[in-house]
Chain A
Amino acid sequence: DAKTTQPPSMDCAEGRAANLPCNHSTISGNEYVYWYRQIHSQGPQYIIHGLKNNETNEMASLIITEDRKSSTLILPHATLRDTAVYYCIVKSGNTGKLIFGQGTTLQVKP
């Protein structure tokens, strides 16, 4: 299973875009990149996922590099409620298991 590397913490000003990077240099061709977040003590919440192309939904955008070795999650207008731990996960191509790393703690400040 591919491993991911994320910075342990980041700050972002309220109303500004939050750009969360993730490295996954050992990703295989059939493995998806998923992003989840976990707001204090709650269950993880799905944000977005992608395989090769950039993706956008109502919550965020996902930019995947052409070689697929890294990606960036973009929250276009961060709010205080976006303060959470963000997990970048490469989903196992064979089993579909999510292997969670340590994630990035995003602190959105007023």
Chain B
Amino acid sequence: DAGITQSPRYKITETGRQVTLMCHQTWSHSYMFWYRQDLGHGLRLIYYSAAADITDKGEVPDGYVVSRSKTENFPLTLESATRSQTSVYFCASSELLRSDEQYFGPGTRLTVT
């Protein structure tokens, strides 16, 4: 199916564990983004990528690592999860940067205990 998917949809992990959230898009969009949304707040940009092997930090990058070896995939890794990283994570993609809409995935709800 065409679109943008995220996995897993729900994840519970313990403090200190490494966890990777996956994002996959089928449009071959150049740009991909990771956001987090905390309860009652808007979305905040974590990292974004302009193309394969090109990534850059957003507003709240600390504690996260990204990679983009293939255009269609943009995994987000929490190297040592903390309770403050409990959040809903959204991945998005777009073809152009300035004048194009971003398409969002369904989100991953992550709980760190």
Q: Output the nearest chain B residue to A1 by Cβ-Cβ distance.
A: B59
Interface of A is mostly: loop
Question: Is the CB–CB distance between B98 and A100 below 8 Å?
Answer: no
Question: Is the CB–CB distance between B99 and A32 below 8 Å?
Answer: yes
Q: Output the nearest chain A residue to B31 by Cβ-Cβ distance.
A: A96
B residues 47-99 touching A (CB-CB < 8 Å) = 48, 56, 58-59, 88, 90, 92, 94, 96-99
Question: Is the CB–CB distance between A100 and B31 below 8 Å?
Answer: no
Contacts of A42 in B (CB 8 A): 106-107
| Smallest beta-carbon distance B86→chain A, Å | 15
> Number of B residues whose C-beta is below 8 Å from A?
27
Known: A32-B99, A93-B98. A99 touches B45 (CB 8 A): yes
Known: A32-B99, A95-B97, A97-B48. A44 touches B90 (CB 8 A): yes
Total cross-chain contacts (CB, 8 A):
55
Question: Is the CB–CB distance between A44 and B99 below 8 Å?
Answer: no
Contacts of B43 in A (CB 8 A): 44, 98, 100
Question: Is the CB–CB distance between B48 and A45 below 8 Å?
Answer: no
B101 within 8 A of A: yes
Question: Is the CB–CB distance between A97 and B58 below 8 Å?
Answer: yes
Contacts of B105 in A (CB 8 A): 43
Other-chain residue from B44, B98, B104, B106 in contact with A96 (beta carbon distance below 8 A)? B98
**What CA separation (Å) do A29 and B1 show in the bound complex?**
38
Chain A interface residues (CB < 8 Å from chain B): 30, 32, 34, 41-46, 49, 51, 87, 91, 93, 95-103
Known contacts A95-B56, A102-B41, then 8 further A-B pairs from the complex at CB < 8 Å, ordered by chain A residue: A32-B98, A34-B101, A43-B104, A44-B43, A45-B104, A95-B97, A97-B45, A99-B59
